[in-house]
Amino acid sequence: MGLLSMFGNQAPAKKPTDDMLLLHAMLLMAGADGNIDDAEIETVEAYFCQLPEFTDKDFSEVLADCRKMVSRYPNLKDSVKALGQISSEAAKKKAFILAADIAMASGEVDEAEDEMLTAMQRILGVEDALAQKVLEVLSLKFAK
């Protein structure tokens, strides 16, 4: 037993699950401007409710787990690094697609969202060709 363990009865931080990290990716994009308002939380929750990974899961509970994970990072922008812990390539691609979808759903994509999506692409290892395809399809989805 180490010296510090005598003073706390805390369990070690649990490794984030892929579903928690998918939610984290959506929240990061919603809060790319440094603020997540109620409408953005509602948008993320709507996505959450439609995804098979979250069937029978409570949004508030997964959100609380995300907040605990983020608290281990010095700031929200640094927490994008957590996305590198997603275990499967399919989930990494899905995280990128969801983040891009949320960015484009808000209307005009601003510089902070663009930078966040670029960082996510790098951390998630999404190839440029796939990123381009995703953005082309989403542009069609949100065209007026």
Predicted confidence pLDDT, tens digits, the chain (144 residues): 444 444 444 444 578 899 999 999 999 999 998 888 898 999 999 999 999 999 999 999 999 999 999 999 998 888 999 999 999 999 999 999 999 999 998 788 889 999 999 999 999 999 999 999 999 999 999 998
Whether 124 maps to a domain, the answer reads yes
If one counts the domains in the chain, the total is 1
Domain CATH for 38: 1.10.3680
Confirm whether 10 is domain-assigned: no
> Is residue 99 domain-resident?
yes
Residue 118, domain member (yes or no): yes
Structural domain range at position 129: 15-141
Residue 7 inside a domain? The answer is no
For residue 3, being part of any structural domain is answered with: no
User: ∠126-124-18 over CA atoms, to 5°?
Assistant: 125
Ramachandran region, residue 2 (left: φ > 0; alpha: ψ -120 to 50; beta: rest):
beta
In this prediction the pTM is 0.87
Q: Are 70 and 79 in contact (CB under 8 A)?
A: yes
Q: Are 62 and 45 in contact (CB under 8 A)?
A: no
Round to whole Å and give the CA distance between 116 and 106: 14
